[in-house]
Amino acid sequence: MTAGKKVAVVGATGVVGQEMLRVLHQRGFPAREVIAVASERSAGRKVAFGDRELEVRAICPEVFEGVDIALFSAGADISLEWGPVAAAAGAVVIDNSSAFRMDDDVPLVVPECNIEAAANRPRGIIANPNCSTIQMVVALKPLHDEAKIERVVVSTYQAVSGAGAPAVACLDAQRRSLALGEPLEMGVLEGQLAGNLLMHWSRDEASGYQEEELKMVHETRKILGDDSIRVSPTAVRVPVATGHSESIALETARPLTPERARELLEAAPGVEVVDDFAAGVYPTPLDCEGRDAVLVGRIREDIGNPGGLQLWVVGDNLRKGAALNAVQIAEALI
């Protein structure tokens, strides 16, 4: 593919769709035209693209005519219906939903880890992984290449923006109600998140895990190309607007010291080491907001499992966890 492509952003009125437009503009993506696409009810709305506005077009087969790259962030149902339509019209579809991630004919890509997989796309579709998976594998990839990771134990502390703009608004409303001593509305959060933690993803009754957790298991193996990696995840929603945090414990097949892990991470693409815990320096969600890099700190030997490692990994879930990853894939195509 060459520069000067026509790009469609599907789901342009959502928080991730708007972030995709922002990232395309900020990175100077070489497009001759960018179009904003959303549902019929959003048609005619205006969305920002740099210092100008784009008028939102209603999704339909004709909207994909001449489109070279279609960035989808409108939910799995929309992707399942319209992704193949866009691909049939000649676009390379980069989909941010869960619709195609485990499809054998759809590569699941994190550019810092496996960009070469994007070249083999029989359906014309490339999948963006889950936000929590993306930031984790960016940090794990250099360590896996060096010492072969055998097991990952991860607990996530996930920002409410990962559930969309209505969830952010609901948390704000709950905080106001608490401050005023008024009854709380649970709304789309389905529980009190203000001053609290929740685990409200779809549940898999057979395993006792949540859908969000199982994504991390299967996606990590597919991206790193190693089905033998054992992943033990726990996903938690926290009352933070933006920025997912993860506590990770690793077991590796070959010895890997904290010092060597730090060297590898400092040289790894997409990673910034923020680690001087003795001086109180470690990454926080506020540190990562608006940043492209995944921030890694608390690099240390696992005191409860000698020879193992522990890490603290933080990333902007709307940016690297969604929009930026998709745009980086598109950049690789051209």
β-strand 203-204 against 209-210: which pairing, if any?
Answer: antiparallel
Which of helix, strand or coil describes residue 159?
A: coil
DSSP element (H, E) containing 291: none
- Choice among 113, 131, 170, 288 that is catalytic: 131
Exposure string over 40-62, b if 16+ CB within 10 A, otherwise e:
eebeeeebebeeeebebbebeee
Which of 268, 265, 316 lies closest to 288 in space, CA to CA?
A: 316
> Do residues 233 and 207 touch, judged by C-beta distance below 8 A?
no
**144 catalytic residue (yes or no):** no
Which listed residue (144, 170, 244, 288) is catalytic? 244
Cα dihedral 126, 71, 324, 149, rounded to 10, equals -20
Distance CA(317)–CA(292), nearest Å, equals 10
Q: Can 244 be counted among the known catalytic residues?
A: yes
Are 12 and 47 contacting, i.e. CB atoms less than 8 angstroms apart?
yes
Q: Which two tokens stand for residue 90?
A: 């000649």
Known catalytic residues are: 131, 244
